[in-house]
Chain A
Amino acid sequence: MKDKKKFQINKYIFISILSICFGIFVWWLVTDGLGIFRSNALPSPVKVFESFIKKWYETKPDGATLLEHLIASLQVALGGYVIGAVIGIPLGIFMAWNDKIDMCVRPVFDLVRTIPGVAWTSVMVTLVGIGFLSKALVIFISAMVAMVINSYSGIKQTKTVHLWVGQTFGASNWELLTKIAIPSALPMIFTGLDVALGSAWTTLVAAELLASTKGLGFMIQQARGIFRLDIVIVGMIVIAITGAVLSTIIQWLGRKMIKGGRT
């Protein structure tokens, strides 16, 4: 039984790898293979791989190595993301739990949440200048929106009968929230964390294109200016892999924290 399950997982991994390899093969085919695109329009996988290796120790053309860019981006993204979680999750929970808080915060929130995070970039730059803080704030806003919305609906979806069980046992309002509503909202809260991670990461790259001196988005922007498309693609691939790794970590954490399955 266990062996069979293991086999299933292995099969899944095998197919995933196969499909990625196929994608790379097609990419190779249209560039080096058949020469449909010229190398300065679309660099081949081989060329991109070479640039990827080189970028670990070379600072040209943008003044920093790949690792430095990656660390700069991660700092900004995780900084804004963590603050977004620390403020957004409790905010969503209390908005859903308390009508008065909901009435006060809701109108502002409903306006803010329709604004794409990137739109805040220029405002933040004028307020606090180009640097860590302005980008972290932009990411904070876009991550927070997803976390508020998901924690809010998670709490709102608490089954009435579960709350009734607590009430008939004589639970206080605080106990109803902490022992029933929050545990039952936990799957939704983790969905929020995952969605927010995605929007934090995409917003980051966009923000770095506009206002930055370091970071993956900045690297892409610089390379684009001098037609180094190989570096642009290196940047894109690093963004994709890092995003996937972060998302996997959140999902793993969710599986550890959410007991009894998502029902």
Chain B
Amino acid sequence: MANKEPKVRVQNLTKKFGDLLVLDNLNFEVEEGEFLCIVGPTGCGKTTFLNSLTRLYQPTAGEILVNGIPVDPKKQNISYIFQEYSSFPWLTVEQNIRFGLEIKKIPKEEADANVEEMLDIVGLTKFRNYYPSQLSISMLQRVAIARAFATKPELLLMDEPYGQLDIDLRFKLEDELIKLWKKTGTTVLFITHNIEEAVYLSQKIMVLTNKPTSVKTVLDNPLPLPRDVVSEEFVALRNKVTDLIKWW
């Protein structure tokens, strides 16, 4: 038994949709401030996994503890960045970023300061009064990132947030993400099917099996930041992860 309670503890997490077993008895822990990437074969239930974690889906069995108590978005400060574009079209960039702060009833002065800081970090200060319909796709995803970070979450969940971006933008936003993670010290669970992305971002990589999904293994990623995608160590780790998720 570890002396310090982990940030997230998942015990026997199981999820069935009818007779279909999607998540099969998952057990793992995430330490405070850790950046964990979750990779797995396509369609292995990665999104189901994250959605069960936030109670968007009710797990069939098992327990998810955050700071030692069952997860509840009303009590714990969680943010989630979704795969789809999730900015509210009826709110401006600034109002979108402020959304979580309003739900959490953060005092106005603190909220203002957070919003300004986030606008600055994602470089959207000039676009604060624009509506999502007036923005490009990468700007939309930045709004979602800024909205998620604005509440200074203790746990940040990301579900393939960059899956639909081209490679230039992806690297740029990944660097931004690392910068934000270092600055805020938040715990991040990042789902991706892109192995290079996982090796580029993570401190730990969790590999999931094919459906019914369980944890195959968890690898440490000791490479120093910032990472060089063509270095020998990077390629070696990437190949190792690739071999682990091969289903062919």
Q: Does A57 contact B (CB under 8 A)?
A: no
Chain A residues whose C-beta falls within 8 Å of the C-beta of B89 in the assembled complex: 184, 260-261, 263
Q: How far apart are the CA atoms of A186 and B80 in the complex, in Å? A: 25
Inter-chain contact B131/A161, CB cutoff 8 Å = no
Inter-chain contact B80/A165, CB cutoff 8 Å = yes
Q: Give residues 205-263 of A contacting B (CB, 8 Å).
A: 258-261, 263
Q: How far apart are the CA atoms of A165 and B133 in the complex, in Å? A: 18
Contacting A263 at CB < 8 Å: which of B73, B75, B79, B132? Answer: B132
Please judge, given known A-B contacts A183-B90, A260-B91, whether A169 and B79 are in contact too, CB under 8 Å: yes
Looking at the assembled complex, report how far the CB atom of A172 sits from the nearest CB atom of chain B, in whole angstroms: 8
C-beta contact mask, A175-210 vs B, less than 8 Å → 1, else 0? 100011001101000000000000000000000000
Chain A residues whose C-beta falls within 8 Å of the C-beta of B99 in the assembled complex: 165, 169, 179
Q: Does B104 contact A (CB under 8 A)?
A: yes
Q: Does A131 contact B (CB under 8 A)?
A: no
Give the tally of cross-chain contacts (CB within 8 A): 77
Looking at the assembled complex, report how far the CB atom of A182 sits from the nearest CB atom of chain B, in whole angstroms: 10
Looking at the assembled complex, report how far the CB atom of B147 sits from the nearest CB atom of chain A, in whole angstroms: 8
Q: Give residues 111-153 of B contacting A (CB, 8 Å).
A: 131-133, 147, 151
How many residues of B are in contact with the other chain, CB < 8 A? Answer: 30
Inter-chain contact A260/B79, CB cutoff 8 Å = no
Q: Which residue of A lies closest to B144 (CB)?
A: A165
Q: Does B29 contact A (CB under 8 A)?
A: no
Q: Give residues 150-190 of A contacting B (CB, 8 Å).
A: 159, 161-162, 164-172, 175, 179-180, 183-184, 186
Give the B-binding residues of A (Cβ under 8 A): 159, 161-162, 164-172, 175, 179-180, 183-184, 186, 258-261, 263
Beyond known contacts A168-B73, A261-B131: 9 more, CB 8 A cutoff: A159-B84, A161-B82, A161-B84, A164-B82, A167-B55, A167-B73, A171-B103, A184-B89, A260-B131
16 A-B pairs with C-beta separation under 8 A:
A159-B86, A161-B84, A161-B86, A165-B82, A167-B54, A167-B73, A169-B99, A170-B74, A170-B76, A170-B104, A171-B103, A184-B90, A260-B131, A260-B132, A261-B89, A263-B132
